[in-house]
Amino acid sequence: MSPAESTNPLFLGLDLSTQQLKAVILNNDSKVVYEAAVHFDRDLPHHATVNGAIKGPEEGEVTSPVKMWVEALDLLFQKLQDGQVDFGAIVAISGAGQQHGSVYWSNEATSLLASLDATKTLSEQLVPKAFTYPKAPIWQDSSTTADCKRLEDEYGGAQSLADRTGSRAYERFTGNQISRIRRLWPSVYENTARISLVSSFIPSLFLGRIAPVEISDASGMNLMDVLTGRWDDKLLEICGGPTLRSKLGPEPSVGGTTLGKISDWWSKKWGLNLDCIVAPFTGDNPATVVSLSAPGDALLSLGTSTTFLLSVSPSDTPPKRFTTSHLLAHPTDFRGKIVMLCYKNGALAREHVKDKYANGHWHNFNELVEETPPGCNGHMGFYFPLPEIIPPNVVGEYFFTTNLVKTTVKPPLPVESVPASIHPRAILESQFLSIKSRVAHILPENSPHLHRLVLSGGGSANHIFRQMAADIFDMDVYVSSTKEGASSGGSLLAKYAWWKKFNPEGSFEDMTGGQVMGLTCVAHPSKETAGIYDGLIDAYDACEEQVVKIWASNSKLG
Ligand SMILES: Nc1ncnc2c1ncn2[C@@H]1O[C@H](COP(=O)(O)OP(=O)(O)O)[C@@H](O)[C@H]1O
Ligand SMILES: O=C(CO)[C@@H](O)[C@H](O)COP(=O)(O)O
């Protein structure tokens, strides 16, 4: 029986995120039947990554080894086989990738991918020959400030760029990463035949040929017109010169389509059915929107990054004014859009506080949060071990007392004057207040009232984080039965592409019935505490303004 006729089809969704490669397998009732993960630092320690990444050697540079990702896919399939997954029942594969990261293919890549030998692993055959650059710049990179400035200047300013692409120039956005590689290592650029995003890299391995970039993830490049979903010639020229179009391949692929069937290597090596289809993978954040939210929901992803996401109604208009937010094309609805805020100092900054002030245990961290009253007895703390995205590029730790902040611009407090026990609550408060203070500005006009907040990612398992989110955003908080929103989204995208073969006119919502599977309400806001946090927004804004000023003046001095 071919997979298309299978009565018990399985859908494989992958997520190549910052710290892990994860897999979720759904059955036809959209129930999770299997989950597995390869953790980069733990399972592949010979790559010497810290939290999945390598910093430097150049200032601001953050990359991941491409070989590690290929080895992770080899190992993940070994784990799935060890878990007795029925590979022959998988009818469709899709997934997600951390956004913005890029992979540089050599001229040999096409023939290597097309002639894989089933007696060898992917890694043995592809690395290093299929790549011109052994590392992939990832979303934590902040080495492209000069390239961002040039792009905005040559495109007519930050607002013009945001009108066209949905975002002003950001260091991690792929067009600026490409621009830097071309500027610093012209021969690497010249010898690169194709460039993939993380989300188009993985399906290329399944297809045995290089996959197109996907429309929603392409919104994180500063290269695509976010309304038409097509590459913008002027942007391609500024970032990569006349050859960039051919390096990017065709126009971005749209949701619900099929890229093709798996290459025969997957059948010979692992016993997958040759009729198994591969659907476009998307960014990890858009994939999480697909799996965990319906219109009117807000989504807070507490993965390595902290992201806040809203799926907004179909719109033909560009963002009115650029803020620190991004507008992304939607992975299943050509006219739909996603609004996103993204913070680099999410989980890793919280872990830093846990290790320094709570003996390295979430249990102790949580106890300290509970012992400290909302508002931290008049203290506010900002924790940016990595150069932040919001506010742009700021690094360091900053502490304030909040009672006088509106009237007096006081120097920040030294860390020694802050009681050590308040840091766990202080970091959660400032991270969440930063989002709260921006929500009203990023909501499109006439948006429906946000009625629930869905949490995902590693941090969503923590009951204290859940309650803090409920209190600060003043919304009921929900979590899914799986915290792996992105890989679940990937498996739903796989199912959608397969379902479309029988329902060519059907929408994603027709397939799901507009329902988000498996959500449970885990926290209700305390009205009294929510009131305290409402009252702290102005203080938060004033403190953040000071942080930016102090950082700017220190950077000038430095
Ligand atoms: N109980 C917990 N409380 C708070 N944070 C947690 C907890 N468990 C895991 N995390 C955080 O989750 C992060 C990983 O989240 P995950 O969604 O797997 O990341 P990514 O998808 O970016 O690789 C870890 O860095 C850790 O800080
Ligand atoms: O840069 C962004 C979004 O713009 C990040 O959100 C990355 O997509 C990484 O995601 P996680 O690994 O933290 O889920």
Question: What's the DSSP call for residue 444?
Answer: P
- Both structure tokens of 472: 């600060």
Please, which residues have CB within 8 angstroms of residue 327's CB and are 6 or more apart in sequence? 162, 166, 167, 219, 226, 318, 319, 337, 338, 339, 340
CA distance 431 to 199: 28
What are 38's strand-pairing partners? Answer: 21
**C-alpha distances out from residue 548 to 280, 307, 381, 390, 454, Å:** 39, 21, 13, 10, 30
Give the model's pLDDT for residue 484: 87
Residue 246's Cβ-count burial label (10 Å; 0-12, 13-18, 19+) is: exposed
Backbone angles phi, psi at 91, to 5 degrees: -100, -20
- 351 in ligand 1 pocket by Cβ < 6 Å? yes
Largest CA distance in the chain: 74
Confidence of residue 488 (pLDDT cuts 50, 70, 90): very high
- Which carries the bigger pLDDT value, residue 557 or residue 23? 23
Nearest CA to ligand 1 atom 8: 458
Q: Does residue 315 have a pLDDT over 90? A: no
What residue ranges in 402-531 does DSSP mark as E strands?
A: 452-456, 476-480, 519-523
Structure confidence by residue, pLDDT tens digits, 443-452: 777 677 788 9
- 388 in ligand 2 pocket by Cβ < 6 Å? no
Nearest CA to ligand 1 atom 13: 458
Q: Does residue 236 have a pLDDT over 70? A: yes
- 22 in ligand 2 pocket by Cβ < 6 Å? no
Domains 286-343+449-525 and 347-438+528-557 share a fold: yes
What are 379's strand-pairing partners? Answer: 401
Q: What is the mean pLDDT of residues 469-493?
A: 94
Q: What residue type is assigned to position 523 of the chain?
A: A
Domain limits of the chain? 286-343+449-525, 347-438+528-557
CA of 97, closest atom in ligand 2: 8
Residue pair 164/318 in contact (Cβ under 8 Å)? The answer is yes
Distance 18 CA to ligand 2 centre (A): 7
Nearest CA to ligand 2 atom 10: 98
Top CATH class, 286-343+449-525 = alpha beta
Cβ-based neighbour number of residue 376 at 10 Å: 26
**C-alpha distances out from residue 340 to 148, 283, 317, Å:** 19, 12, 17
Distance 526 CA to ligand 2 centre (A): 30
Across 207-221, 298-312, 314-328, the highest mean pLDDT is recorded for 207-221
Q: Architecture of 347-438+528-557 per CATH?
A: 2-Layer Sandwich (3.30)
Structure confidence by residue, pLDDT tens digits, 345-399: 999 999 999 999 999 999 999 999 999 999 999 999 999 999 999 999 999 999 9
Output the DSSP codes for 180-208: HHHHH-HHHHHH--EEEEHHHHHHHHHHT
Residue pair 105/83 in contact (Cβ under 8 Å)? The answer is no
Give which of 508, 513, 436 is closest to 468, Cα–Cα. 436
- Given the structure tokens 């993830």, which residue do they identify? 217
Coil vs helix vs strand at 5 = helix
Cβ-based neighbour number of residue 509 at 10 Å: 13
Structure confidence by residue, pLDDT tens digits, 253-267: 998 899 999 999 999
Residue pair 384/394 in contact (Cβ under 8 Å)? The answer is yes
- b/e for 19-52, b at 16 or more Cβ within 10 A? bbbbbbbbbeebebbbbbbbebbebbeebebeeb
Instruction: Name the average pLDDT for the chain.
Output: 93
Residue pair 165/322 in contact (Cβ under 8 Å)? The answer is no
95: left (phi over 0), alpha (psi -120 to 50) or beta: left
Residue pair 533/436 in contact (Cβ under 8 Å)? The answer is yes
Mutate to test the pocket of ligand 2, among 165, 302, 305 (most ligand atoms within 8 A of CB): 305
Distance 23 CA to ligand 1 centre (A): 16
CA distance 32 to 87: 15
Torsion of CA 19, 25, 26, 32, to 10 degrees: -70
Angle at 114 between CA 109 and CA 119, to 5 degrees: 105
Give which of 134, 163, 162, 133 is closest to 148, Cα–Cα. 162
Give which of 139, 134, 145, 175 is closest to 62, Cα–Cα. 139
- 18 in ligand 1 pocket by Cβ < 6 Å? yes
CA distance 536 to 392: 22
Angle at 435 between CA 99 and CA 521, to 5 degrees: 90
Structure confidence by residue, pLDDT tens digits, 435-445: 999 987 887 77
- 17 in ligand 2 pocket by Cβ < 6 Å? yes
Confidence of residue 407 (pLDDT cuts 50, 70, 90): very low
CA distance 59 to 291: 37
Structure confidence by residue, pLDDT tens digits, 121-172: 999 999 999 999 999 999 999 999 999 999 999 999 999 999 999 999 999 9
Angle at 309 between CA 460 and CA 424, to 5 degrees: 40
Range of weakest confidence among 69-83, 256-270, 544-558? 544-558
Task: Please report which helix (H) or strand (E) contains residue 400, including its range.
Answer: strand 396-401
Mutate to test the pocket of ligand 1, among 19, 345, 456 (most ligand atoms within 8 A of CB): 19
Whether the predicted interface score ipTM is above 0.90 = yes
Nearest CA to ligand 1 atom 9: 458
| Ligand with minimal distance to 427 CA | 1
In the chain, % of residues over pLDDT 70:
95
- 64 in ligand 1 pocket by Cβ < 6 Å? no
Angle at 442 between CA 440 and CA 447, to 5 degrees: 75
Residue pair 456/419 in contact (Cβ under 8 Å)? The answer is no
CA of 302, closest atom in ligand 1: 17
Distance 365 CA to ligand 1 centre (A): 14
Q: Does residue 409 have a pLDDT over 60? A: no
pTM: 0.95
- 50 in ligand 1 pocket by Cβ < 6 Å? no
User: With the C-alpha atoms ordered 434, 436, 438, 444, is the resulting torsion angle positive or negative?
Assistant: positive
CA of 15, closest atom in ligand 1: 21
Residue pair 211/134 in contact (Cβ under 8 Å)? The answer is no
- 140 in ligand 2 pocket by Cβ < 6 Å? no
- 18 in ligand 2 pocket by Cβ < 6 Å? yes
Distance 14 CA to ligand 2 centre (A): 15
